[in-house]
Amino acid sequence: MIEAAARARAVREIRLIDNASGDGIPEQVARKFAADPRFHFEKLPTNTGFGAACNRAAAACTAPWLLILNPDCRLAPETLDTLLERADDARSPGVIGIRTISPIGKIERAVHRLMPSTTRMLLRQRNASLDLSLPWQEVEAGSGALMLIPRALFKHIGGFDTGFFLHAEDLDLMARARAAGAHNALAGDLSAVRTSRARRAANARGSCPGTNTAA
């Protein structure tokens, strides 16, 4: 995850916030990237929750875009560069995502989510019917595993609601981005692989993914 960010041309800052994990892995990552001036590591004394930790990282960033990336995502550095090029050309961009897939190539349903409502829950309408191969299309919501958002918009809508400790904070952020007049989007021809082992380990540690800030 951090390796891809470090090799992407457009990335200006890489911030890793550790929510009081105890396995030593974030420290290993910090040592590996200690020579990179873009890399910043902070270990929190308590687990503040996903949103709160990401807000802390975002507040220290200066670049115009924030990329919030889960530790279980694996993607190529050129994927980030391509995504940022498209985002720069977008009209009133909100939260932008890509296709996330499992290690065996299965597309995650969260990629094309609908905003939940009572009616949709009763009718079990959870996902939009989309052509997931299109390079750009507007969506209500996407996967929270990789979220690109303008820093100005993130600040305008108040970042993540820290009332959500873990889960649903991504949907809430996307809903507030739309309410502010921004357009959430999916770059369906770009993809990242989510490794289930890393996902389980991250959940067990309670660690927050790094916030990669790119121009």
Beta bridge partners of 127: 113
Report in angstroms the alpha-carbon separations of 81 from 9, 12, 77, 160: 7, 12, 7, 25
| 35: pLDDT strictly greater than 70 | yes
Report in angstroms the alpha-carbon separations of 49 from 115, 174, 215: 22, 18, 27
Q: Which of 211, 82, 91 is nearest to 151 (CA)?
A: 211
- Domain ranges within the chain, ordered by starting residue: 2-214
- The per-residue pLDDT of the chain, averaged, comes to 86
Burial classification of residue 67, based on how many CB atoms lie within 10 Å of its CB (0-12 exposed, 13-18 middle, 19 or more buried): buried
Topology of the domain comprising 2-214: Spore Coat Polysaccharide Biosynthesis Protein SpsA; Chain A (3.90.550)
pTM of the model: 0.86
At 165-179, the pLDDT tens digits run 888 999 999 999 999
The amino acid present at 6, given as its one-letter code, is A
